[in-house]
Amino acid sequence: MEVHVNILARLLTTLCIEKLGIRLGALRRLVRRVEREAVRDSQIMELESLYKLSHGNLKKTPSASTKPKDDPWEQIS
C-alpha cells in the first residue's frame, strides 16, 4: 500500500507542476497547509471520541420504571 501511495503522490506532484503550472514553492506551501489541517482534524476527532467515551460512562440512563419527583408532565396531564 505504501508503494501505491508513493506512486500516487509522485503522479499528483507531476500533474500539478507540469500540467497545471503550479510552482514548486506554492505546491510545498499547499502540502504543508493540508498536513496541518489533517493533523488538526485528527486531533479534533480524537478529542470528540474521548469526550463521547467519558460522557457515556458518566451519564447513565434512568430506568423507565422510575419517575422523577415533581414531574411537570404529570401536572399538565
What pLDDT, in 10s, does the model give residues 21-49? Answer: 999 999 999 999 999 999 999 999 999 99
CA distance 9 to 11: 5
CA distance 50 to 72: 34
Position 52 confidence tier, pLDDT thresholds 50, 70, 90: confident
So what's the pLDDT on residue 41? 92
pTM over 0.85: no
CA distance 49 to 59: 15
CA distance 3 to 28: 21
